[in-house]
Amino acid sequence: MAASTLFDKVWKAHEVVPETAATPAVLYIDLHLVHEVTSPQAFSVLRSLKLPVRRLDRTLATMDHSTPTTTDQVFGKVPIKVDAAAKQVRQLEQNAADFGVELFGMRDARRGIVHVISPELGASRPGMTIVCGDSHTSTHGAFGALAFGIGSTEVGHVLATQCLLQRKPKSFAINVEGKLPPGVTAKDLILAIIGKVGVSGGTGHVFEYRGSTIRGLSMDERMTICNMSIEAGARAGMVAPDEVTFAYLDGKPRAPKGKDWEESLARWKQLASDPGAAFDLSVDIDAAALEPMITYGTNPGMVVPIGGAIPHSAGDAIHDKALGYMGFRGGDAMLGKPVNTVFIGSCTNGRLEDLEAAARVLKGRKVASGVHLLIVPGSQQIKRDAEAAGLADVFRAAGADWRESGCSMCLGMNGDTVGAGQYSLSTSNRNFEGRQGVGARTLLASPLTAAASAVRGRITDPREFL
């Protein structure tokens, strides 16, 4: 048998009907994650066709995108301030109740960002197919799952049939070798990868992140990497499951137990790409040569090492428009530029290790005067863990704003926004125009860089604090 990639194996195992020239594959979906923003129209379709949700046991809903992060709003002391968001929350509650879908609702202790809670439950596992009406579904690929974002029409398809019509994407190996230097994180690595591959370099492909550097990363770090696969245009990003994956999953609430665990483990160990498996494309990255990275423009591929300067335009309209929007000039150094808001959180960098990294810098220090540091944990579980570990005390003592979980300022749907013209150093995934608020200027970086820059009030190399 020909050598297969991890992606080939997962794809093959989920073909209900293989693709032909005339028809795409019918691909089975093991886990469907649902949230309040992209599901209402899909439930409406089911309602109008009088269809049930086919597999309630493979469907899990939560609310994260438009939910408030202040404790009073989350726990009902005061009404949700954004009316339309409150309406979406009620709509999901109604849809979940009508169709019998399991929902981690507003006050549920298990609520959080959809891509954070599924892994921490042990619901995202090797070899699965996982979809959600959200492009950052690629996060779950860290477990060796094939996980990708879909639109609301396809959300309806999965609710009704547990399947999707899909053409098989191509494969793309991202080979990373070497040891990440101190102060250089998984976020810096994925920003460097996007800078190298380009924001559409992965279109039509599924990434597999490979090599000694990737094998040396924790699950939280692997999730940060896979999360941003879509920012390079890739359909999904995957990492072969290994002992790190298995140790993370062992004992998680929804991980298999006993005999099922042993059987699963045996299957999971077969998933890694076979030696000699061919990829359609590949790129090599030297991790040891990397520095902390920061974006300067309006897409995640416009990125430089933090000590670097903004490239000069070569008559490139995108570059000029981006710099005009950001208020920057070609040749400007990134270090020392002022920041107004710092956001630490999101499905990219809202997990416990991210908060620990931020706390390492913030411990015993204060946020610079005039800077708003917003720290939003990825889930209520992470909030509790961070409080138990004393991280929240560090944040509060530093003058940070410590909130309930959610997507928050990553996309500003819930009222957590950045003002027009203001600079936001953010650990999230997108620096698009207006992403964090109308006219907001976003700079993407790691939690270490974010914390260091919050302390100085200027873009700061985190290695100064380590």
Partner 1 sequence: MEPLRIVRSRTVVVPLANVDTDQIIPARFLTTTTKEGLGKQLFADWRYRSDGAPNPDFILNQAPALGCQVLVAGRNFGCGSSREHAPWALLDYGIRAVVSTEIADIFRNNSLKNGLLPVIVDEATAKWLIEHPGADVSIDLESATLTLPTGVAVPFPIEAFARHCLLNGVDELGYLQSKLADIERYEASRPSAA
- Kindly identify the residues of this chain, within the stretch 349-408, that bind partner 1 according to CB under 8 A: none
Residue number, 200 or 212, with CB nearest to partner 1: 200
What is the nearest approach in angstroms of partner 1 to the Cβ of residue 348? 14
Is-contact 343 376, C-beta < 8 A? Answer: yes
**Length, in residues, of the chain:** 466
- Kindly identify the residues of this chain, within the stretch 89-148, that bind partner 1 according to CB under 8 A: 91, 127-128, 133-135
- Residue 199 as a binder of partner 1 (CB under 8 A): the answer is yes
Segment near partner 1 (CB under 8 A); pick from 72-80, 106-114, 163-171, 395-403: 163-171
What is the nearest approach in angstroms of partner 1 to the Cβ of residue 17? 5
Q: For strand 205-210 and strand 372-375, is the pairing parallel, antiparallel, or unpaired?
A: unpaired
- Residue 264 as a binder of partner 1 (CB under 8 A): the answer is yes
- Residue 281 as a binder of partner 1 (CB under 8 A): the answer is no
> In which residue are the tokens 């950052």 written?
136
Among 175, 363, 433, 463, binds partner 1 (CB under 8 A): 433
Torsion of CA 232, 229, 340, 417, to 10 degrees: 110
Residue number, 85 or 217, with CB nearest to partner 1: 85
What is the nearest approach in angstroms of partner 1 to the Cβ of residue 225? 18
d(CA 59, CA 198) in angstroms, rounded, equals 34
Among 47, 72, 78, 200, binds partner 1 (CB under 8 A): 200
Is-contact 154 164, C-beta < 8 A? Answer: yes
Ramachandran angles phi, psi of 62, nearest 5°? -150, 175
Among 203, 218, 313, 340, binds partner 1 (CB under 8 A): 203
- Kindly identify the residues of this chain, within the stretch 284-313, that bind partner 1 according to CB under 8 A: 299
What is the nearest approach in angstroms of partner 1 to the Cβ of residue 374? 17
Is-contact 376 406, C-beta < 8 A? Answer: yes
Residue number, 179 or 267, with CB nearest to partner 1: 267
**Which H/E stretch holds residue 95?**
helix 83-99
Residue 99's closest CA among 52, 55, 49?
52
Among 9, 337, 351, 435, binds partner 1 (CB under 8 A): 435
Segment near partner 1 (CB under 8 A); pick from 96-104, 150-158, 173-181, 364-372: 150-158
Is-contact 404 68, C-beta < 8 A? Answer: yes
- Residue 167 as a binder of partner 1 (CB under 8 A): the answer is yes
- Residue 163 as a binder of partner 1 (CB under 8 A): the answer is yes
d(CA 85, CA 68) in angstroms, rounded, equals 9
d(CA 296, CA 300) in angstroms, rounded, equals 9
Segment near partner 1 (CB under 8 A); pick from 97-105, 198-206, 333-341, 343-351: 198-206
- Residue 165 as a binder of partner 1 (CB under 8 A): the answer is yes
- Residue 150 as a binder of partner 1 (CB under 8 A): the answer is yes
- Residue 434 as a binder of partner 1 (CB under 8 A): the answer is yes
- Residue 40 as a binder of partner 1 (CB under 8 A): the answer is yes
- Residue 18 as a binder of partner 1 (CB under 8 A): the answer is no
Residue number, 4 or 44, with CB nearest to partner 1: 44
Q: Which amino acid is at 73?
A: Q
- Kindly identify the residues of this chain, within the stretch 446-465, that bind partner 1 according to CB under 8 A: none
Residue number, 77 or 259, with CB nearest to partner 1: 259
Query: If you write DSSP's letter for every residue of 377-418 in order, what string do you get?
Result: -SBHHHHHHHHHTTHHHHHHHHT-EE--SSSGGGTTTTS---
Strand partners, 148: 131
- Residue 23 as a binder of partner 1 (CB under 8 A): the answer is yes
Q: How far is CA 160 from CA 15, 53, 116, 312, in A?
A: 17, 5, 25, 51
Among 152, 175, 218, 340, binds partner 1 (CB under 8 A): 152
d(CA 149, CA 32) in angstroms, rounded, equals 10
What is the nearest approach in angstroms of partner 1 to the Cβ of residue 3? 23
Total residues contacting partner 1 (rule CB under 8 A)?
74
Residue 120's closest CA among 253, 302, 284?
253
Is-contact 197 189, C-beta < 8 A? Answer: no
Per the structure block, which two tokens stand in for 388? 């138990």
- Kindly identify the residues of this chain, within the stretch 42-81, that bind partner 1 according to CB under 8 A: 44-45, 49, 65-66
Residue number, 163 or 285, with CB nearest to partner 1: 163
d(CA 104, CA 379) in angstroms, rounded, equals 11
- Residue 438 as a binder of partner 1 (CB under 8 A): the answer is yes
